[in-house]
Amino acid sequence: MGDMRNALIAAAGLLILIGAPPAAATPPPGADEIDSYPIAQGHYSSPTDFYGVFFKTPDGRACGIGPNGGPVGCDAVPIDAPAGTNQTLVTPGVRATYRFSDNPSFTRDVDVLPEGYRLENWGASCGVGHQGTVTCKTYGQHGFVLASTYAVLW
């Protein structure tokens, strides 16, 4: 009986390790570059969204920044994202992640955010960098870099 009890305790410990959230990652080098980008001027709001800011990327992806730091995300994932996901998302205090949504959350009829420009909304920001790469962050703690072929989540 003692061997069985020890095996169950060991298995429970392994489950705890496997189920533990990953350690907080740090932003990749260059993620703060968007802070130096000028704020874009254009049509980036939607009459049906209270204080939301939305944009399209030069290659057609749809992204947005909710009020009070988020949620911040894109109705897009890179080609290496887990199967079944269709959004990249970050919320204040939580590491960025991929998720599935039945409906687009960030797609609106708004302007394209040109390369080298950014948008801000109450503690969160997104910018479009080289070759349409999107960098979004909330309160500087968590965010993501999203390209068509890869993403970095922190």
Question: Cα(86)–Cα(82) distance, rounded to whole angstroms?
Answer: 9
Question: Cα(10)–Cα(14) distance, rounded to whole angstroms?
Answer: 6
- Could you read off the pLDDT tens digit of each residue along the chain, which spans 154 residues? 444 444 433 333 433 333 333 444 577 777 788 999 999 999 999 998 989 999 999 999 999 999 988 899 999 999 999 999 999 999 999 999 999 999 999 999 999 999 999 999 999 999 999 899 999 999 878 999 999 999 999 9
pTM for this one?
A: 0.82
